[in-house]
Each structure stands twice: as structure tokens, then as C-alpha cells.
Amino acid sequence: MDKFLEYVDKHQNDFVERLRKAVAIPSVSGDPAHRPDVFRMSEFLVEELKSLGASVETRDLGKQDWHGQQLDLPPIVLATVGNNPEKKTILVYGHYDVQPALLEDGWSTNPFELVEDENNRLIGRGSSDDKGPVLGWINVVEAHKALGLELPVNIKFCLEGMEESGSEGLDALIFDEASKYFKDVDGVCISDNYWLGTTKPCLTYGLRGVSYFHMKVKGPRADLHSGVFGGTVHEPMTDLVAVMSKLVNPDGKILVPGIYEQVRALSPEEEKTYDDLAFQMEELHDAVGNKINIHDTIRKTLQCRWRNPSLSLHGIEGAFYSPGDKTVIPAQVTGKFSIRTVPDMDPKQVSALVVKFCQDEFAKLGSKNTLDVHCTHDGNYWLSSPNHPNYVAAAKAVETVYGVKPDLTREGGSIPVTLSFQDALKKNVLLLPMGRGDDGAHSINEKLDRSNYIKGTQLLGAYLYEVSEVKL
Ligand code: BES
Ligand code: MN
Ligand code: MN
């Protein structure tokens, strides 16, 4: 392991160059115009893995229906490094697609050009979510090949290009391949989340689920002039805003009846897991960029992030949003919102409660417009235990590389595939993050600190050494 750690440190700049190439490919899965780039990104990974001696195959997932347009789904990249039956096999998952990013959104630099600032932060879309971690695994393979060292375990890669857009087709593939490609997998490791704060690494054993909703209100045949029709017709936007305002209050309380009844009670044991976490209110303020916290304590804040549901309003499609004034009555508008779900919420029940509530609230308006509300996709919450040997191995790796014991955390975000791997393969899944809590995933100026990328690469490798020695 020492030779490996030393190699990574010495070859920092090569690894940064690899990240630079990856960030330069704008693999935005949510934008059809970028779909060819998502494919290019898959080809980049295939080439990198092949050149390191992995046996690589890609799985075609067919087509995606995007508002009536048929788009090719990017492939799942499956790669195997080593197939020694004496060794354990660790499955590594990551995603090579990224969130959209435009300079006009407020980025300080071109989002698809990796820039290292004076604080050694590697800035660029996907640097932290999730290209840095995916390349971290590849760096581990490269280091071993270059040193002529055998890896302590066999690695199976499963890399997807639609994570940010609902992972269409991946679940079916996982269940389908459980007894084939994934047959020999002993444990799973996903590096696709972040430290709690900015100084201490963590291992993560829980995620919230997410249920996403579209609510469309339709009325006139086409957009109307508000001078001619204002005050004389039911306006879709007015109806929509009225219903959306009923979903959640400004203190973050969900107003849909029946939601909180499904939430698991907080036990004294769980309460203890919020003691002694390396996280300060100031770090939260820094990450947010303002002091707009609802709760005054870290404990309550983390409980609301990790183990309570939340409802966020995301946008209104069809609304006038350009600069300047336009006196329009939009003909149809679609409100978008999502609920982060937690133990023991059931997505089917959540969806039924939300749909009924919106319909009831709309009916109360007495509007002659029409409403259609439905759940567009859902992924369940995931909760594991940090006592499993897979986590014990990872904790040792953290101590080797960082010299500290990791925090044990849950997260508020969602990686639906985590639960799918656990259910389909019946194996333990570990979340082992590379980046920091202030990396700004999905936001402007997303970054990964150089030290997190390099030490993170060491950490992923060290974990493979430690996990090779435990019984999974
Ligand atoms: N890497 C994130 C998941 C994540 C977010 C983990 C925050 C920990 C903290 C992932 O790429 C992501 O953005 N997931 C989506 C899933 C959704 C599209 C189903 C999310 O959480 O919104
Ligand atoms: Mn991610
Ligand atoms: Mn993401």
C-alpha cells in the first residue's frame, strides 16, 4: 500500500490532467443538445479503462422518451479489473453525467474548463459530482499498473450516464445482471457524496429518497393579452401559484396531510448519532453563502437534512421568465416540486397523498381551468448500518490516509441505485465520499480541492487494501 500511496502523491499532476479532460466534455444528461457529449464521455472512460488493461463492455439501454422526442440513452460502462477467484470482488459505481452549467448562471470561469485557483481548488462542472471520484478509481488502477503491483481485490465498475436525470433503465439492468455480471460481487462502494464539513472525512450509511412531481394547469387555447383578458378569465398561473403555496410553509413544514404520520420516530439511540459530529453552524453559513438557516442548532439542522422529509419548489415551466416586462397570461404552466423521503415513508402512498391534496386544493379555487398532477419519478430512501465490516475497512483506510476517525453520517440527497444494489445483490453498500461539504455540487463554481482529489484517490485505494482483509 505504501508504494501506491507514494505513487499517487508523485503523480498528482497527471491525475489533474485526467480530470481536466473529463471536465472538458460537457456530459449534461438533462439537455438533449448535450446527449452526444454524454456518449463522448462514456467513450472517454472506455478508452481510459481499456488502456489500463480492464476488460470493458458497454450496455445499450435503448431509447428515452423526452417530450415525444426519442433520444438514445447513454450506455452503462461495465469494466472488470482482475478476476482472481481467490480475491474479493468490489463493485464500484459512479456516474459520468453532470448537471447543466452556463457561464451566465454566474460561474467565475468557463464551467467546462478545469481551473485551479490560488487555493488549489479544481473548479469545473462535475469536478466533485461525480467525475473526480470516478477518475479516482481509475487513478488507483493506473497506479497499480504503473508500479507493476496487483490490486488487492478484483474491481467491477458500473458507470452510468443518466444519474442526474433519473437513471432510466439502470434498475432493470442491475436486477437482470445480479446473477451474471454482478455474480461474484462481495461488497459495493459508491463515491458520490460529500463530507459533512470541510475538514473531516466521513462514511455515509443513509440517504433520503426523492419523489418528483409535475403539476400542470391549462386554460386558454394560447397565451393571452392581459390587457384584453386580465380580470375576465381564470388564469392558469394564478391557480398554480395558489396550489403550490399550500404545499409547504416558509419554515419548511410540509402541509400535505398524512406525510409526517409516516415518518419513523426518533429513538434515543438515533438521537446519539447526532452527538460529536465535526460540523459547525459557520460551515453551514459558508456553504449556503448566507445566514438563512431555519434551525439554530446543528443537531436540528442535520435531523432535518437526514431523517425528516422536506418539500422543495423547483420551478414553473411555461411562465414568463426573461428580463423585461411582458404583459402575458401564460396559457399553460407546469409547477415542479419534489419531496425528499425518509424512513418509513412509502413512495406510492406519498404520491397518492400529494395528488389528492393538490386536486382538493385546486377544487377549492372554483377555477374552470384544468389541473393534472402526477409523480414523474421516485426513488426510495436508503438506511444501512456503519458497523458492517465494509465500513470498518473504510474507517481504517480513512485513518491511514487522513490520520483521523471518520464521522459517520447520513445524507439528505439521493442516489437511488444504492438501494437497488443492496436489494438485487444482497451485499453491503458503502458510501465513501471524496469531496467536501462546500464543493457546490449542482451549483455555480463547483469545485474539488486538489488535496481531496489526491488524498481521495489514496483513500479509495487504501479502502481496497483494507476491505481485502475483512470478512464481508
Ligand atoms: N451526488 C448526488 C447525490 C447526493 C447529493 C449525495 C447530496 C449526497 C448529498 C447525485 O448526483 C444527485 O444529485 N442525485 C439526485 C438524484 C435525483 C436526480 C434522483 C438528487 O439527489 O437530487
Ligand atoms: Mn452525484
Ligand atoms: Mn448530482
Residues 61-95 have pLDDT tens digits of 999 999 899 999 999 999 999 999 999 999 999 99
Ligand in nearest proximity to the CA of 210:
1
Report the chain's mean pLDDT, rounded to a whole number.
97
Give the integer Cα–Cα distance in Å for 54 and 355. 48
Atom 20 (ligand 1) nearest CA: 414
Give the integer Cα–Cα distance in Å for 405 and 374. 44
Q: Which of 80, 57, 56 is CA-nearest to residue 156? A: 80
Instruction: Show the DSSP H helices in 102-188 as ranges.
Output: 132-147, 170-177
Beta-carbon neighbours within 5 Å of ion ligand 2: 129-130, 192
Considering 37, 142, 160, 163, which one is annotated as catalytic?
163
pLDDT in tens, 391-428: 999 999 999 999 999 999 999 999 999 999 999 999 99
| Distances from the Cα of 67 to the Cα of 32, 34, 71, 247, angstroms | 11, 16, 10, 26
Q: Which of 464, 462, 457, 463 is CA-nearest to residue 132? A: 457
Binding residues: 95, 129, 164, 192, 225, 327, 340, 414, 442
Instruction: Show the DSSP H helices in 104-205 as ranges.
Output: 132-147, 170-177
Ligand in nearest proximity to the CA of 413:
1
Burial of 85 from C-beta contacts in 10 A (0-12 / 13-18 / 19+):
exposed
Angle subtended at Cα 60 by Cα 56 and Cα 61, rounded to the nearest 5 degrees: 135
Q: Are the C-beta atoms of 354 and 361 separated by less than 8 Å?
A: no
Q: Which of 100, 80, 278, 79 is CA-nearest to residue 196? A: 278
Q: What is the mean pLDDT of residues 34-38?
A: 98
pLDDT in tens, 151-160: 999 999 999 9
Q: Are the C-beta atoms of 100 and 61 separated by less than 8 Å?
A: no
Q: What is the pTM of this model?
A: 0.95
Q: Is 360 a catalytic residue?
A: no
Which of 134, 164, 204 to mutate for ligand 1's pocket (most ligand atoms within 8 Å of CB)? 164
Give distance in angstroms: CA of 192 to centre of ligand 2: 5
Confidence check: pLDDT of 3 > 90? yes
Q: Counting atoms of ligand 1 from 1, which one is nearest the CA of 192?
A: 1
Atom 19 (ligand 1) nearest CA: 166
Give the integer Cα–Cα distance in Å for 124 and 130. 11
What is the maximal distance between C-alpha atoms in the chain?
78
Give distance in angstroms: CA of 1 to centre of ligand 2: 28
Q: What percent of the chain has pLDDT over 90?
A: 98
Domain regions of the chain by residue span: 2-207+382-467, 209-264+307-379
Q: Is 303 helix (H, G, I), strand (E, B) or coil?
A: helix
pLDDT of residue 421: 98
Give distance in angstroms: CA of 304 to centre of ligand 2: 21
Q: What is the mean pLDDT of residues 234-240?
A: 98
Considering 97, 235, 239, 411, which one is annotated as catalytic?
97
Give the integer Cα–Cα distance in Å for 127 and 441. 9
The topology under which CATH files domain 2-207+382-467 is Aminopeptidase (3.40.630)
pLDDT of residue 391: 98
Burial of 261 from C-beta contacts in 10 A (0-12 / 13-18 / 19+):
exposed
Q: Which residue has the higher pLDDT, 287 or 412?
A: 412
Atom 16 (ligand 1) nearest CA: 414
Q: Which of 141, 130, 176, 161 is CA-nearest to residue 50? A: 141
Q: Is 177 a catalytic residue?
A: no
In order, the DSSP letters of 268-313 are: HHHHHTTTT-S--HHHHHHHHTS---SSSSHHHHHHHHHTS-EEEE
CATH for 209-264+307-379 is 3.30.70.360
Confidence check: pLDDT of 57 > 90? yes
Buried b (16+ CB within 10 A) or exposed e, 28-58: bbbeeebbebbbbbbebbbebbeebebebeb
Binding residues for substrate: 192, 225, 327, 340, 414, 442
Q: What is the mean pLDDT of residues 33-45?
A: 98
Q: With cut-offs at 50, 70 and 90, classify the pLDDT of residue 364.
A: very high
User: Which residues have CB under 6 Å of ligand 1?
Assistant: 129-130, 163-164, 166, 192-194, 210, 379, 411, 413-416, 441
Q: Are the C-beta atoms of 308 and 342 separated by less than 8 Å?
A: yes
Give distance in angstroms: CA of 306 to centre of ligand 1: 13
Give the integer Cα–Cα distance in Å for 470 and 472. 6
Q: Counting atoms of ligand 1 from 1, which one is nearest the CA of 416?
A: 19
Confidence check: pLDDT of 285 > 90? yes
Q: How far apart are the first and last CA of the chain?
A: 20
ω into 130 cis (within 30 of 0): yes
pLDDT of residue 278: 85
Ligand in nearest proximity to the CA of 167:
1
DSSP code at position 254? B
Give the integer Cα–Cα distance in Å for 302 and 308. 9
Q: Confirm whether 2-207+382-467 and 209-264+307-379 share one CATH topology.
A: no
* Phi, psi of 403, deg, nearest 5: 70, 20
Instruction: Show the DSSP H helices in 57-169 as ranges.
Output: 132-147
Q: Are the C-beta atoms of 423 and 407 separated by less than 8 Å?
A: no
Which of 337, 378, 415, 443 to mutate for ligand 1's pocket (most ligand atoms within 8 Å of CB)? 415
